[in-house]
Amino acid sequence: MVSWGDATYRIERIAPATYAIVRISDDVRVGTFRTGKTIETRAQGIDPALFDKLARAAVQNARTSWVKHPTPQPPKAREREEPVKEEAPASSVRRFVTA
């Protein structure tokens, strides 16, 4: 997230080293940028100078690093299996009848 003026923008990864900036108030994509040796920007429906500032702020404040290093998930708990109790076959069961 990057705040500029009275607006807040969300940074979304759309491809390796390529990001989109979305204005949160109306959920509209305002452009894309690509990182590398230089930052390549493409503004869509926003002043290009403002978009350049947003892209630079996102990179300088490390707002894009979370994508490259996802949070590890804790290991899943193993389910314990109950031992299977086998019953003896019917032919081996002896029954005594009392008279």
| CA neighbor of 30 nearest in space, from 15, 18, 42 | 42
pLDDT on residue 66: 44
pTM over cut 0.85: no
* Longest CA pairwise span in the chain (Å): 104
CB 59 within 8 A of CB 40: no
- C-alpha angle 82/88/93, rounded to 5°? 150
pLDDT tens digit sequence for 2-60: 877 888 898 888 888 889 999 988 888 999 999 888 888 899 988 999 889 888 888 88
Domain residue extents for the chain: 2-66
Q: How distant, in Å, are the alpha carbons of 29, 31, 45, 59 from that of 42? A: 11, 5, 10, 15
pLDDT tens digit sequence for 73-88: 777 776 666 666 666 5
What does the chain come to in residues?
Answer: 99
